[in-house]
Amino acid sequence: MVRRLSTRDPGFADSFAALVADTREGSTDIAGEVAAIIARVRAEGFAAIAELTLRFDGVALGKADAEVPAADRAAAAARVAPGVRRALELAAARIRAFHETQRPEDSETIDGAGVRMGVRHTAVARAGLYVPGGRAAYPSSVLMNAIPARVAGVDELVMVTPARGGALVPEVMLAAELAGVSRIFRIGGAQAVAALALGIDPVPRCDVIVGPGNAFVAEAKRQLYGSVGIDMVAGPSEVLVVADASARPAYVAADLLSQAEHDPLAQAILLTDSPTLAEAVVAEVERLLPTLATEPTARASWEAHGTIILVDELAQAPALVDALAPEHLELMVAAPAPLFTAIRNAGSVFIGEMTPEAIGDYVGGPNHVLPTGRRARFASGLSVRDFMKRTTFLEVPPSAFPALGAAAATLADAEGLAAHALSVRIRG
């Protein structure tokens, strides 16, 4: 049964706090298992990867056939249906165009003292991309993760993906072709993340690892962060729809289910000031569920984590939205602009009844890799900048040195760092 909250209920504050705290990231402690996998890969190299791949994926893998040959990639991509190919090509073009606008500009200035300073941006040399092969294969994720890396100027993009029964997914191979993926390996799980981070021959060591995966993949990224950069540690998907009486119940219900079908742990929330709309949406969800091939997953998510929040007026919405900090936020109201301006925390916002989140998943342009688990309070979606480093530079001319040097030496003395002071004073 869907959970219902109302700001008029005496216990609303406690119930809402419990909802905010429920990030649905599971209670099973897999950190030890993942640490053991990483340790094995570090100590045993490819032999550990081969044994784990056989155990978890049922694929016998050797060094010689771990990488997908270019001919096999092309043959698989050629099997994609023409309509799907055109859709992927459209998506790739729109994603690339949007991310081209994100490339940061270098800057340089000379201050009043004549000191030259600035910022230079450079791409990492090699990025790793994890593509899951569990519940479904997502060519859209290949595009969303790989294209920003290429726009940033990454030299080499290495993809790892578990091959289902040893077979390649044609749509994933085509997406890799369109996005400019350099190399693809038939490896999945925490062992694949370890291979990318550590550089286990024949998998080259990467500077950054991006891409979604199951709990083991997320935990491996978490543990290896520091020796390699990562995009984020992502949890189950979530959507929050803010709607008023003008919203169409069928649209709202379909959008809620579009996230619920991802995972039994996914969360779909409706926040509305209309009790009539709330009841109509619940009825529409029940009507639509049996029509979905993904009904078992969507129903499990809706019944365990689906939530209706009733407010007296939409002016209460921004504070509640900011506390929930949703991955996806839809504003399906007659006047969305004031809400959009007032809300601070959301991974991505979809404005108006003709902007379902599913458009953003595929062909909108902005990235669909977004912070989950309330992390939109402090984190952002994947962008070109995630594949770039910012380097500052400084050049002090002789004319500016006396004034700056005297102050720097004084501060070094105050901190008790004699060599710091010496390195300044030795220059006169």
% of the chain beyond a pLDDT of 90: 92
Q: Are residues 202 and 222 in the same domain?
A: yes
Domain assignment of residue 411, given as a range: 396-425
Residues 292, 405: one domain?
A: no
Residue 81 has pLDDT above 60, yes or no: yes
Higher pLDDT, residue 138 or 26: 138
Catalytic residues: 327-328
The verdict on 248 and 317 lying in the same domain is: yes
Residue 9, domain member (yes or no): no
Structural domain includes residue 20: no
Of the pLDDT bands very low, low, confident and very high (cuts 50, 70, 90), residue 137 is confident
Answer whether residue 10 is part of any domain. no
276-291: burial string, b at 16+ Cβ within 10 Å, e else? ebbebbbebbeebbee
Our separate counts of H helices and E strands in the chain read 17, 14
Q: How far is 428 from 204, CA to CA, in rounded Å?
A: 48
Residues 201, 180 share a domain: yes
Q: Are residues 61 and 83 in the same domain?
A: yes
pLDDT of amino acid 57: 85
Residue 249 sits in the same domain as residue 203: no
Q: At residue 134, does pLDDT exceed 60?
A: no
Residues 160-177 have pLDDT tens digits of 999 767 688 999 999 999
pLDDT of res. 159: 98
Average pLDDT, the chain: 96
Q: pLDDT category, 131, cuts 50, 70, 90? A: very high
pLDDT at 160: 97
pLDDT of residue 20: 97
Structural domains of the chain, count: 3
Confidence grade of residue 1 (pLDDT, cut at 50, 70, 90) = confident
Measured CA to CA in angstroms, residue 345 lies from 237, 272, 331, 341, 401 at distances of 16, 18, 13, 11, 45
Peptide bond connecting 371 to the previous residue in cis, omega within 30 degrees of 0: no
Taking only the tens place, the pLDDT of each residue in 280-294 is 999 999 999 999 999
**pLDDT of 350-399, one tens digit each?**
999 999 999 999 999 999 999 999 999 999 999 999 999 999 999 999 99
Where a domain ends, among 168, 196, 230? 230
User: Does 259 lie in the same domain as 185?
Assistant: no
Decide if 3 is inside a domain.
no
Are 80 and 217 in the same domain? yes
Residue 27 has pLDDT above 60, yes or no: no
Which structure tokens are listed for 44? 């045993």
pLDDT tops 80 at residue 28: no
Last residue within a domain, chosen from 175, 197, 230: 230
* pLDDT at res. 26: 60
| Closest to 59 (Cα-Cα) out of 139, 160, 130, 140 | 160
pLDDT tier for residue 234 given thresholds of 50, 70 and 90: confident
Residue 108: give its domain's CATH number: 3.40.50.1980
Q: Which of 230, 250, 278 is the last residue of a domain?
A: 230
Instruction: Read off the pLDDT band of 204 (50, 70, 90).
Output: very high
Residues 256 and 214 occupy one common structural domain:
no
